[in-house]
A and B are shown apart, each in its own frame.
Chain A
Amino acid sequence: MATELEDHKLAEEIAGLDALEAHLETHPGRGRQIWSTVWPKVAAVTLALGIWQVVVWSGWKDDYVLPGPDKVLPALADLVGTGDFWKAVGTTMRRAVTGYLLALVIGSAIGVAVSRVRLLRTAVGSLITGLQTMPSIAWFPLAILLFGLTERAIMFVVVLGAAPSIANGLIAGVDHVPPLMVRAGRMIGAKGIRLYRHVVLPAALPTYVAGLKQGWAFAWRSLMAGELLAVVAERPSIGVQLQFARDFSRADDMLAVMIVILVIGIVVDTIFGRADVTIRRRWGLIDTSI
């Protein structure tokens, strides 16, 4: 009986200390959380529109060259109301997603290979970083020569733009896996490919996601450059709309399309950003009060 009593006492003491030590999290209300992230953005957009309007009012450029928000926003509303616009967005997003997924597969495969094989690392490690810094628009002459003015030329450049960042994210992630994690993994019986699957890759995830995010930014830039340069016949796209607006000297339409490009970029980037924050928070890498 004394044993049970002692056991019970130990259990109680441990539970008591746990309760004192484990830090408790408080979650602010969902609505408050959304509001606290939304209002600064709204304020920033308002400020940007204000500055733009002031520049226009200053008379620095003629109205038909640089129209103000008062002209561009209605143009944007008109644009969004047309079927052609949505067709164009559809084409562009399909290209973006296809190109990005292709870059994801290729970049990840290269990343895994380079991080696992020392010889490959020595051979092409710095080349990947070099490719990452290369402006994707510089690939277009070659792409057009190889594939003509086709979808494939655009895909080629999008993949070349995004894949190095994705590969580099994975390589850097693997490089920075804490040695203690690897040691612990080995001790509990993870060896070879399973050490990679259960310890190294999960540990590399936050850096990999950062690479994915950067890869998206490069893919989007490359795609816009591609759509301006390689106009595929009978395929309306956002880039084509931008080009047409310029060709017909419709500055208000042009700026409206630019806003669309910016917004799509921001929305997708936000999705990646959220994934990044969710992972880091879950891992305890950032303070939950941020």
Chain B
Amino acid sequence: MTITAPRVDTTSVQHHAISLRGVSKAFGHGGNAVVALEGINLDVTWGEFVCLVGASGCGKSTSLNLIAGLDRPTIGEVTVHGRTALMFQEAALFPWLTVRDNVALPMRLAGKGKAERHRRADELLEQVHLGGQGGRRPHELSGGMRQRAALARALAQDVEILLMDEPFGALDAMTRDLLHDELEQVWANTGLTIVFVTHNVREAARLSDRIVLLTSLPGKVAEVFPVTIARPRRIDSTEVMGLAAAVTDRLRAEVRRHSDDMAMTPHSDEPHGN
């Protein structure tokens, strides 16, 4: 499979799809406040596939919530030039609807006609290789199939930006591999801008154009790794594994800095910068 992403030429477009400027997010107040994100600067260009990677507490999900508009930053500015859809680790399909009706629901909420909804839902199911499964109930599908149905539902929202919060975290390796191929194909065919959160470094190297490594507590951008490996990629290729190793080393160094935290609670001033 040759991936020819219909990438928008960034020089001719004034805006980035997503732009975070000096974004900080704190939860709670006063002494109990937890700073989840601090001084995040991040631009995502149209059609780009960006992975946010980090250990626990790096504010990966918080970033997605901010981009999705589910939450507001404490300081800073989040600009999103487009509509967003969000996928979770759980498919979160509605058990009272058939797979087709699940996929059609966003269109129903958008006021589209029944015939059009069904036609488009079947089309999308076909696209995620679930053609012919539309009449089944979510519980009759495997975990991987459910995630694909959730992907079809997200595509049904007709958005420009897809946000994914560890969408394949609960799947076995074989299924995840195939879903990587699948997602890459969908991305290539639709030209979506994707922000993908994961703790799986290899997955990030396999999928993305750029890996953004975040530190933990507070979450800051530690390093950005451009991924120039030619597509199609394999998760077990030397290039992907090599890059993953480099990112993992950096991530581990980051995690080591927190080894003192356990001994030094409550929060000491963290002397480490970037």
Chain A residues at the B interface, C-beta cutoff of 8 Å:
2-3, 6-7, 10-11, 13-15, 17-18, 21-23, 25, 180-181, 183-190, 194, 198-199, 202-203, 205, 282-285
Contacts and interface: CB of A to CB of B under 8 A. Distances in A.
B94 A203 contact: yes
B92 A181 contact: yes
14 contacts: A10-B1, A17-B178, A21-B142, A23-B140, A183-B88, A186-B70, A188-B85, A188-B109, A189-B157, A198-B109, A199-B94, A202-B96, A283-B96, A284-B95
B68 interface: yes
Interface of B: 1-2, 68, 70, 85-86, 88, 90, 92, 94-97, 105-106, 108-110, 129, 137-145, 153, 156-157, 174-175, 178, 181-182, 185, 232
A contact face: mostly helix, strand, loop, or mixed: helix
Contact of B95 (A185, A189, A283): A283
A13 to B, nearest CB: 6
A17 B175 contact: yes
Contacts of B94: 181, 184-185, 199, 202-203
Nearest to B141: A22
A283 B92 contact: no
Contacts of A183: 70, 88, 92
Nearest to B96: A202
B138 A284 contact: yes
Contacts of B110: 189
Nearest to B97: A202
A21 B142 CA distance: 6
Contacts of A22: 140-142, 145
Contacts of B106: 188-189
A10 B140 contact: no
Contacts of A188: 85, 105-106, 109, 153, 156-157
A205 B70 CA distance: 27
A3 B90 CA distance: 31
B129 A180 contact: no
